[in-house]
Amino acid sequence: MASRSPTDYRIQREQWPELKKSCPFGQVPILEVDGKTVLAQSYALLRYAGSLAGLLPTDPLEAARVDEVLYLLTELDTLLAPSGKEADAEKKKALRQALAAGPLTTWFASLTKLLETSGSGFIVGKQLSIADLATYCRLQSFVGGKVRCRSAPAGSLQRPDPAPSCSTTTSRRTSWTATRC
């Protein structure tokens, strides 16, 4: 992947109305491959990049376990969305407290269970996969304090190690353009 030099475009607010028309679902992120194929939905992009980089298990069951984690992360988005959209600070706090009192604790217990089951320090199997990368990125908002939650297990958010090896990737695809907010 590194040798393919992806171009990372960050868009300005004023560019968005025009760009939105060309996005498959009117949303970013999108990934343009070879200047023609346009992919949307962040986890589809991640799966594609992960398969090129050898970070998606080839075993169907292990790959399904990775999907299990991606769907679990999607559930976290669903849980956080109402409080994320709430503009009133007091209401937002009440929504977040209700989450922390139950649903978030349950969610983090599920994640902890996966980590305990793998026993390897990686979420699925014995090596780094896109499940680790997606979880690390998704939970950054908890570490950064954007979302606060006491149920996040301490020490669970270390940077995945080893860093993904990109040099082993071979593909006939040559140019990528990733656009995100």
d(CA 148, CA 118): 26
Q: Which helix (H) or strand (E) holds 30?
A: strand 30-33
Cβ at position 57, least distance to ligand GSH in Å: 21
Q: Which helix (H) or strand (E) holds 8?
A: strand 7-10
Pick from 10, 20, 91, 93: which binds ligand GSH (CB under 6 A)?
A: 20
Question: Could you give the angle at which helices 60-85 and 89-100 cross, rounded to 10 degrees?
Answer: 140
Pick from 41, 118, 127, 141: which binds ligand GSH (CB under 6 A)?
A: 41
CB atoms within 10 A of CB 133: 19
Pick from 1, 28, 55, 73: which binds ligand GSH (CB under 6 A)?
A: 28
Choose one: 21-29, 88-96, 156-164, 171-179; the region binding ligand GSH (CB under 6 A): 21-29
Size of the site for ligand GSH (CB under 6 A): 8
Pick from 1, 29, 111, 169: which binds ligand GSH (CB under 6 A)?
A: 29
> The tokens 């559930």 sit on which residue?
75
In the complex, which residue's CB is closest to ligand GSH? 27
d(CA 43, CA 173): 19
Give yes or no for residue 27 binding ligand GSH (CB under 6 A). yes
Instruction: Name the residues that contact ligand GSH, by CB under 6 A.
Output: 20, 26-29, 41-42, 181
